[in-house]
């Protein structure tokens, strides 16, 4: 896919917008971006593990939705439109007990009324932990 973001991505601005939200509470930090992808990391610690000591699937979904929704909103003029989650699925394929996971959202389809993003979450060895697909609705700003 070619350039999908409206302008150069400011990782610093994305991280600043995330303060005092579920994103910062879980330790999610935006780390890199390209022409059609956005990346963030999340620690596997007491905030993100389930009672059996492994990464909580819900935390992986928060990371996936954070990446896809943030990437989607970088594709629209947020003064006029915003992107909101319509549907998300996630397949959890590998348990992680510690360290950091990295999620990468890539555009599959960026349309006028919907967007589709694939989010791959990998462990520190680059092994697939979770794969997710997020469908976003593009709506008028103030009507999300």
Could you give the residue numbers annotated as active site? 65
What CA–CA distance (Å, rounded) separates 110 from 25?
Answer: 29
- 81: number of Cβ within 10 Å: 20
What CA–CA distance (Å, rounded) separates 97 from 137?
Answer: 34
Provide the token pair at 141. Answer: 């700003």
Burial of residue 33 (number of CB atoms within 10 Å: 0-12, 13-18, 19+): buried
């Amino acid at each position: 896919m070619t350039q999908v973001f409206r302008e150069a991505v400011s990782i610093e601005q994305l991280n600043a917008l995330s303060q005092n939200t579920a994103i910062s509470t879980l330790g999610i930090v935006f780390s890199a971006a390209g022409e059609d992808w956005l990346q963030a990391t999340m620690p596997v610690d007491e905030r993100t593990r389930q009672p059996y000591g492994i990464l909580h699937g819900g935390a992986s979904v928060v990371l996936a939705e954070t990446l896809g929704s943030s990437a989607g909103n970088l594709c629209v003029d947020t003064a006029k439109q915003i992107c909101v989650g319509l549907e998300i699925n996630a397949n959890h394929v590998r348990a992680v007990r510690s360290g950091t996971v990295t999620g990468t959202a890539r555009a599959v389809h960026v349309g006028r009324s919907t967007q589709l993003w694939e989010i791959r979450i990998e462990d520190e060895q680059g092994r697939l932990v979770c794969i997710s697909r997020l469908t976003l609705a593009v709506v008028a700003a103030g009507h999300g």
